[in-house]
Amino acid sequence: MTRNTFVISGMMAALGVCAVIYSLSTSEAAASSWPVVRSPIQKDVAIESKIDDWLAKMSVEQKVGQMIQAEIKSISPDDAAKYHIGSVLNGGGSWPTDKADGPLGAWLSMANLFHGASMDTGDGRLAIPIMWGTDAVHGHNNVVGATIFPHNIGLGAANNPALMRDIGTITAREVAVTGIDWTFAPTVAVAQDARWGRTYESYSSDPKIVAELSKELLIGLQGHPALDNFLSEQKIIATTKHFIGDGGTQAGDDQGDTVMSEDDLFTIHGQGYVQTIGAGVQTVMASFSSWNGDKLHGNQYLLTDVLKTRMGFDGFVIGDWNGHAQVDGCSNISCAQAVNAGVDMFMVPEDWKAFQANTVSQVKSGEIPMARIDDAVRRILRVKYRAGMFDSGKPSAHELAGRAKLIGHDNHRAVARQAVRESLVLLKNDNDVLPINPKSKVFIAGSGADNPAIQSGGWTVTWQGRDQVSRVMNPTSYYKNHITIAQSLTSAVKSAGGTLVDKTDMQSADVAVVVFGEEPYAESDGDLTSLNFDLAANKDFQILQDLKAKNIPTVTVFISGRPRGVDAAIDISDAFVAAWLPGSEGGGVSDVLLDNEYGFKGRLPFDWPASSDNAATTYRYKRGYSYVSSTQSGR
Ligand code: GLC
């Protein structure tokens, strides 16, 4: 019998929580050795006893209701109470009013209504507080005016664990202002093929970077017992997602099939779960994807035997958006297989009523054992107790509720600006064109220079960063207080005594800055068959060609959710910066482009492809590259 020993220490030690060593006999382990991970939040006998009491008095309808999460646009607070619904969510681009830039207070008002209804014991109902989940994945990004951080790919380039904890703390505070309890973050995807439309939600193709950064974000979001702030009123419940192997699908096909050995599945895609469970994450979201052809939402071995029994996860598993319907024999309204496999709460945005009725029938028929239902409800109530939801009163009574000044607070935006600075990766700098002297004559151009929708990418106020039907990018009004790269560069050059020149006078420029790249997308809408970026008819590339013909030193700032094959653009530029999806603080880009104390710190979190017919195989720069590190010894 060989033994595997895992040392889970890292920031835990820094937290004053001694390094925790687990050993695992592998004789009974599966082909790989999933570790036993002890959460810093151990079971509380008093809480478990209270849950015993609840289970004893709940009807099957009430129990199944707790296992359902409905979308706020498809359920009223009264119906949520009437059907004993345990949770609601606002999907990407879903707001409490029909306007994105509606009153901020509408969020808290709606949270109060859902909470009040769930605590109303009229008609013999049970007072079990409802929990509201949202995708605050790069700040409180559904809310106009919130601080919008760089998407995860940029944070992976920055690779600053302490900064991640600050980002989590800030995100939790801004979410708490709106009365929401829970964010579906961190994503611990370890994207292996950048053709995947969700690559920008992944920190890196390196499991170690993903594991460390997600753990720190989590501690910022939820707090930690060693910091004595675990799930305080300044913190929110978090979700590690999407379990497991979301970033490993063949050809980067979103919701596709991750085909690999169990050892590789653990080694490549499991490290974020080890670290975040070890830091106390309370929910895990099941992945739409499959493992070796088996949909995760129906995979009892991974969801129950591995995640819960072997690794010891004692929070609850939330399904993804009707993800259960992708299990063979299932639909939006019925999936006993997923219940039995170990999904505890089902994200059933619209069809929640039928799903509840069918699941109740499946329990009554014995297709779903009551013990499974009781286990799921126990896990859900355990998390609600740990989050203090039974005692904390209505959302508007919470410490940060309604404190609108915290949304997009200058202190928060300063941290986001630092994150932007540290996320930038310099790929090329011929003739030391960078840094730019702010006193010079600067020509700014490019479709991404003054475009907040391109700058923030998907999952920003709307799901796709654009209208899903017309595909028109979000209006500028959705980006209140955002600073674009052009705006910040212009003000910095002017205040330094420099000059901005326009297109008609570009010949007189000392340097040009051209900003362009990908337009926003999310999930499968962003899937590609090739990473090649078509420059042939691209107007931004034509500007680069024009500048080259005029011998004007040119800096290209490429905005994208992933590396792309842009050899011709890199070759024609004197300097080339990968800026990823910076978010609200374009000032972080001008800070580094101009001659001041910052400098380039980012390193490529993914390999950068060469331009070719299928750029997913040949690379121009490898992960970890930066022009800075390649030219300065000892870095
Ligand atoms: C989406 C995503 C998931 C998100 C959920 C709720 O389809 O897969 O990451 O948390 O739905 O918006």
Report pLDDT digits (tens) over 201-231.
999 999 999 999 999 999 999 999 999 999 9
Q: Check pocket membership of 201 for ligand 1, CB cut-off 6 A.
A: no
pLDDT digits (tens, 9 = 90+) for 63-82: 999 999 999 999 999 999 99
Residue 618: the pLDDT is 84
Q: Is 546 a catalytic residue?
A: no
- Mutate which of 90, 94, 135, 243 to test ligand 1's pocket (most atoms within 8 Å of Cβ)? 135
* Dihedral-angle region of residue 624 (phi above 0 means left; psi in -120 to 50 means alpha; beta otherwise): left
How far apart are alpha carbons 59 and 55 in whole angstroms?
8
Radius of gyration of the chain (CA): 25
User: Spelled out in words, what is the top-level CATH class assigned to the domain 3-406?
Assistant: alpha beta
How far apart are alpha carbons 595 and 493 in whole angstroms?
10
What is the 285 CA–ligand 1 centroid distance (Å)?
9
Question: Which numbered atom of ligand 1 lies nearest the CA of 91?
Answer: 12
**pLDDT at residue 23 greater than cutoff 80:** no
**pLDDT at residue 12 greater than cutoff 70:** no
Of 212, 320, 450, 527, which one is the catalytic site residue?
320
Q: Check pocket membership of 459 for ligand 1, CB cut-off 6 A.
A: no
Residue 13: the pLDDT is 46
**Cα 610–chain centre separation:** 27
Domain segments of the chain as ranges? 3-406, 424-621
What is the 513 CA–ligand 1 centroid distance (Å)?
36
Q: Check pocket membership of 320 for ligand 1, CB cut-off 6 A.
A: yes
Average pLDDT rounded to a whole number, residues 521-547: 96
Q: How confident is the model at residue 460 (pLDDT cuts 50, 70, 90)?
A: very high
Strand-pair category, 239-243 with 182-183: unpaired
What is the 26 CA–ligand 1 centroid distance (Å)?
35
Torsion of CA 626, 486, 543, 563, to 10 degrees: 30
How far apart are alpha carbons 186 and 201 in whole angstroms?
9
Q: What percent of the chain has pLDDT over 70?
A: 94
- Encoded tokens for 367: 């297709």
Residue 6: the pLDDT is 41
Longest dimension (CA), the chain: 80
Q: CA end-to-end span of the chain, whole Å?
A: 43
pTM value is 0.95
**Type and span of the H or E element at 462:** none
DSSP 460: B
Residue 612: the pLDDT is 75
Half-sphere exposure for 435 (CA within 13 Å, toward CB): 17
Question: Which numbered atom of ligand 1 lies nearest the CA of 201?
Answer: 9
**Type and span of the H or E element at 105:** helix 105-119
- The residue behind tokens 């501690």 is 219
Question: Which numbered atom of ligand 1 lies nearest the CA of 242?
Answer: 9
How far apart are alpha carbons 451 and 466 in whole angstroms?
12
How far apart are alpha carbons 607 and 123 in whole angstroms?
60
**pLDDT at residue 533 greater than cutoff 50:** yes
pLDDT digits (tens, 9 = 90+) for 591-627: 999 977 899 999 999 999 998 766 567 899 999 999 9
- At 406, give phi and psi (nearest 5°): -75, -25
Residue 305 in contact with residue 362, Cβ under 8 Å?
Answer: no
Question: Which numbered atom of ligand 1 lies nearest the CA of 92?
Answer: 12
Residue 18: the pLDDT is 38
Q: What percent of the chain has pLDDT over 90?
A: 91
**pLDDT at residue 410 greater than cutoff 70:** yes
- The residue behind tokens 């409905």 is 70
What is the identity of the amino acid at 151?
H
Average pLDDT rounded to a whole number, residues 568-577: 98
Q: Check pocket membership of 92 for ligand 1, CB cut-off 6 A.
A: yes
Residue 348 in contact with residue 332, Cβ under 8 Å?
Answer: yes
**Type and span of the H or E element at 316:** strand 316-318
Q: How confident is the model at residue 635 (pLDDT cuts 50, 70, 90)?
A: very low
The SS3 assignment for 5 reads strand
**pLDDT at residue 356 greater than cutoff 80:** yes
Q: How confident is the model at residue 383 (pLDDT cuts 50, 70, 90)?
A: very high
Average pLDDT, the chain: 94
**Cα 561–chain centre separation:** 13
**pLDDT at residue 22 greater than cutoff 50:** no
How far apart are alpha carbons 539 and 558 in whole angstroms?
14
Residue 33: the pLDDT is 76
Helix 161-177 and helix 207-222, axial crossing angle in degrees, nearest 10: 40
Helix 207-222 and helix 262-269, axial crossing angle in degrees, nearest 10: 60
Atom 11 of ligand 1, nearest CA residue = 321
Q: Check pocket membership of 184 for ligand 1, CB cut-off 6 A.
A: yes
What is the 317 CA–ligand 1 centroid distance (Å)?
14
Question: Which numbered atom of ligand 1 lies nearest the CA of 133?
Answer: 6
Long-range contacts of 14-20 (CB under 8 A, 24+ apart): 15/219, 15/224, 15/226, 15/227, 16/226, 17/224, 17/226, 20/278
What is the 458 CA–ligand 1 centroid distance (Å)?
12
Of 201, 262, 422, 523, which one is the catalytic site residue?
523
What is the identity of the amino acid at 629?
S
How far apart are alpha carbons 151 and 451 in whole angstroms?
16
Q: Check pocket membership of 624 for ligand 1, CB cut-off 6 A.
A: no
HEC profile for 137-163?
CCCCCCCCCCCCCCCHHHHHHHCCHHH
Average pLDDT rounded to a whole number, residues 480-486: 98
Atom 12 of ligand 1, nearest CA residue = 91
- The residue behind tokens 């059907």 is 83
Q: Is 320 a catalytic residue?
A: yes
Residue 608 in contact with residue 621, Cβ under 8 Å?
Answer: yes
* Dihedral-angle region of residue 364 (phi above 0 means left; psi in -120 to 50 means alpha; beta otherwise): alpha
Residue 579 in contact with residue 529, Cβ under 8 Å?
Answer: no
Residue 339: CB atoms within 10 A of its CB come to 25
- Mutate which of 255, 321, 348 to test ligand 1's pocket (most atoms within 8 Å of Cβ)? 321
Atom 10 of ligand 1, nearest CA residue = 184
pLDDT digits (tens, 9 = 90+) for 218-267: 999 999 999 999 999 999 999 999 999 999 999 999 999 999 999 999 99
Atom 7 of ligand 1, nearest CA residue = 321
Residue 28: the pLDDT is 44
Q: How confident is the model at residue 124 (pLDDT cuts 50, 70, 90)?
A: confident
Residue 431: the pLDDT is 95
- Encoded tokens for 182: 């829970």
Question: Which numbered atom of ligand 1 lies nearest the CA of 463?
Answer: 12
Q: Check pocket membership of 463 for ligand 1, CB cut-off 6 A.
A: no
Nearest CA to 242 out of 189, 293, 314, 306 is that of 189
Residue 630: the pLDDT is 83
DSSP 33: -
Half-sphere exposure for 512 (CA within 13 Å, toward CB): 28
Atom 6 of ligand 1, nearest CA residue = 91
Average pLDDT rounded to a whole number, residues 22-31: 44
- CATH fold of 424-621 reads Rossmann fold (3.40.50)
Question: Which numbered atom of ligand 1 lies nearest the CA of 239?
Answer: 10
Q: Check pocket membership of 247 for ligand 1, CB cut-off 6 A.
A: no
The SS3 assignment for 565 reads strand
Atom 3 of ligand 1, nearest CA residue = 320
Residue 8: the pLDDT is 43
How far apart are alpha carbons 220 and 412 in whole angstroms?
13
- Encoded tokens for 541: 């590339």
Expressed in percent and rounded to 5, the helix, strand and coil fractions of the chain are: 40, 15, 45
